[in-house]
């Protein structure tokens, strides 16, 4: 079965500093990888995805993520954090072949950006 691990329940960063939210995955075959963000009392919103090709994926609001096949990781990054980036971030994986096309989500990481 496919799975996602987000090892940090919470990440704290000062505004203007770079941020990283970690994600590792397990899936049969090649992965499709996603990051979604959830604000309080809202549904999940798509940030970016990796399908194939360039390992560095750029998404909305200045976020990017790097696919590392050997480490089975897809960490979310942003060079300069904003207070408004504070939210819950979910990594998700689905299978390109041999597994489920239904996205499996991680537990989420709460990002807190301090002014």
Partner 1 sequence: AAGVIQSPRHLIKEKRETATLKCYPIPRHDTVYWYQQGPGQDPQFLISFYEKMQSDKGSIPDRFSAQQFSDYHSELNMSSLELGDSALYFCASSLGGSGANVLTFGAGSRLTVL
Tell me if 54 contacts partner 1 by CB under 8 A. no
Please tell me the distance from the alpha carbon of residue 18 to that of residue 52, in angstroms, as a whole number: 26
Task: Look at phi and psi of residue 72 and say left if phi exceeds 0, alpha if psi is from -120 to 50, else beta.
Answer: left
Dihedral over Cα of 43, 110, 79, 7: its sign = negative
Task: Look at phi and psi of residue 71 and say left if phi exceeds 0, alpha if psi is from -120 to 50, else beta.
Answer: alpha
Give the interface size with partner 1 as a residue count (CB under 8 A): 25
Tell me if 34 contacts partner 1 by CB under 8 A. yes
Instruction: Please select the residue that binds partner 1; options are 25, 32, 63, 67, rule is CB under 8 A.
Output: 32
Nearer to partner 1, 44 or 113 (CB): 44
Nearer to partner 1, 34 or 85 (CB): 34
Please choose, out of 13-21, 66-74, 76-84, 97-105, the segment that lies near partner 1 by the rule CB under 8 A. Answer: 97-105
């Amino acid at each position: 079965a496919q799975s996602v691990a987000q090892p940090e329940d919470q990440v704290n960063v000062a505004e203007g500093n770079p941020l990283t939210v970690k994600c590792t995955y397990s899936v049969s075959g090649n992965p499709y990888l996603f990051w979604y963000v959830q604000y309080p009392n809202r549904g999940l919103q798509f940030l970016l995805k990796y399908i194939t090709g360039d390992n560095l994926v750029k998404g909305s609001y200045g976020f990017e993520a790097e696919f590392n096949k050997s480490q089975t990781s897809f960490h979310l990054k942003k060079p300069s954090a904003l207070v408004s980036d504070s939210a819950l971030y979910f990594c998700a994986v689905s299978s390109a072949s041999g597994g489920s096309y239904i996205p499996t989500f991680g537990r989420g990481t709460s990002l807190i950006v301090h002014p």
